[in-house]
Amino acid sequence: MTTTYTYSLPIGPIHPALKEPIRVVAEVEGERVVRADVKRGFAHRGIEFMGMKRNAIQTLYLSERICGICSISHPYAFVKAVENAIGMEAPPRAQYIRTIIAELERIHSHILWLGVIAHEMGFDPLLYWTWKGREMVMDLLEYLTGNRVNYAMYMIGGVRRDLNEKKIRAIKENMNYYRQFNQEMKDVFMSDPTYKARTRRVSLLTRKDALELCAVGPTARAAGLRMDIRQDQPYDAYADMDVRAVVPQDITGEVMGDAYDVTLVRLYEIDQSIEIIERCLEDLPPGPILAEPNLIKLLMTIKRSEGEGVGRHEAPRGEVMHYVRFDGTRDGPVAWKVKAPSYNNINIWGRVLVGAEIADIPIAVGYIDPCMCCNDRVAEVRRGGRELPYEEVRRKCREKTMRIKREVMG
């Protein structure tokens, strides 16, 4: 009888495969993972708490800083939630502009993921090439909004910047470029034998698992689930666009739910985004871009309103949901809850990593495009089996800050 020995291989919190801190401890037997444990909470910043101390407009721009990549997903969900709570509706032109910016972001986020997954499998030239192509949309976003990231474009009840003829022409030119670039990307990703060898049947997620573990976004769609907030609960301009979820069964005719299918879903979603943007530009209605241009008045409206609101947006990674509550005493939310797509999607690691090889870990980890700072919304500090109360943690933090300050200052 043979005895097999397992040993644990720690991935993270700091590891070359991870762009942000999270810990995956894989029990490994040879090259095969027999058990995987995920520990999160390394990137908790108390952003919701900070938001509850600020007014709603400040919180809107704070929400942009939740995620480093989707700078528009969180503001989008936040403005929808606030508008839902105070009963406000953005003017049609603003709705269309919001959709255009959100779709531009989807393009850059998906290209970013394609580069990252190529890097995870040691295909760095592909990373350089895809990211070089991504620069165009980043430049466009900078031209439209003033920033490459953290666009500061949205406002409760509208958007802050209008599109003029010159900007519309720039978007159209950009979309022509991306139609061609995406075709090239499809050719490369779908025809490269090593890419296929590394992603086919890797991190398999069945339809049942995806449902059970509440997967969202491209991860769920790759498992064959036709779910997309833009399709199921259309908001803003999406209601006019008739968006259909991109699923692998429509592309190749079969569903595997593996990393290759996710690639397909993301590649075809870029095409979908290009279509949506072009239709938005065609149908762009005239009119104002803000429902309430006077921000003081807007804040007073919020201060006087009581109630709660939920905003949902289909971020590049999946559904992002914000919940806000106003109690009529202050001009910011008294309760703010953020649920990012990675919060759901990280749950599937435990399932897909079992039985995977060590070489598959970076791909299984990368294929949901995890965003740690998006999903870390709570931190629990335990010492000796005891949960430390908030005051004690705060006191210890202050002590440490003072100590470091003394050391640095000498």
Partner 1 sequence: MILEMLQDPLVRVAFAVLLPIIAIFLGLFYKGLDRKLSARLTSRIGPPIRQPFRDVRKLFLKENIVPENSIPWMFNAMPLVAMATSLTLLLYIPFGPFPAPLEGRGDLIVLLYLLAMQPLAMALGGFASGSPYASVGAQREMVLMMSYEVPLATIIVGFAYLYASVPAAASAVWAPFSLGMIAQTPVWAVVSGPVGIIGLLILLGVLLVVTPAELVKIPFDIAEAETEIAEGLLAEYSGRNLAMFYLSDAVRSFAMCAIVVVLFFPHTLSSLVPLTAYPWNTEPVLFTLETLWFLLKVFIVYFFAVTLVRTSFARIKVDQAAKFFWLHMTLAALFGLLLIYLDVGGWF
Residues in contact with partner 1 by the rule CB under 8 A: 7-10, 15-17, 28, 30-31, 118-126, 128-129, 132, 192, 194-195, 197-198, 357-362
User: What angle (nearest 5°) sits at the alpha carbon of residue 126, between those of residues 122 and 130?
Assistant: 135
Nearest distance from C-beta of residue 362 to partner 1, angstroms:
5
- Residue number with CB closer to partner 1 (139 or 392): 139
- Residue number with CB closer to partner 1 (194 or 233): 194
- Residue number with CB closer to partner 1 (31 or 162): 31
**H or E stretch covering 349:** helix 349-353
The two three-digit tokens of residue 4, written as one number = 């097999």
**H or E stretch covering 319:** strand 318-327
Crossing angle for the helix pair 124-145 and 92-120, nearest 10 degrees? 160
Nearest distance from C-beta of residue 194 to partner 1, angstroms:
4
Nearest distance from C-beta of residue 137 to partner 1, angstroms:
17
Classify burial at 24, counting beta carbons within 10 Å of its beta carbon; exposed 0-12, middle 13-18, buried 19 or more.
buried
Nearest distance from C-beta of residue 403 to partner 1, angstroms:
27
Say how many C-beta atoms besides its own lie within 10 A of residue 136's C-beta. Answer: 17
List CB contacts of 26: < 8 A, sequence separation 6 or more: 8, 9, 10, 11, 33, 35, 36, 353, 358, 361
Nearest distance from C-beta of residue 33 to partner 1, angstroms:
11
| Spatial contact of 25 and 39, defined as CB atoms under 8 Å apart | yes
Nearest distance from C-beta of residue 335 to partner 1, angstroms:
40
Instruction: Tell me how far apart the alpha carbons of residues 116 and 371 are, in angstroms, rounded to a whole number.
Output: 13
- Residue number with CB closer to partner 1 (113 or 235): 113
- Residue number with CB closer to partner 1 (124 or 232): 124
Nearest distance from C-beta of residue 124 to partner 1, angstroms:
7
Which alpha helices (H) appear in 367-389, and where do they start and end?
A: 372-375
- Residue number with CB closer to partner 1 (359 or 379): 359
- Residue number with CB closer to partner 1 (114 or 227): 114
- DSSP notation for 288-306: -SBS---HHHHHHHHHH-E
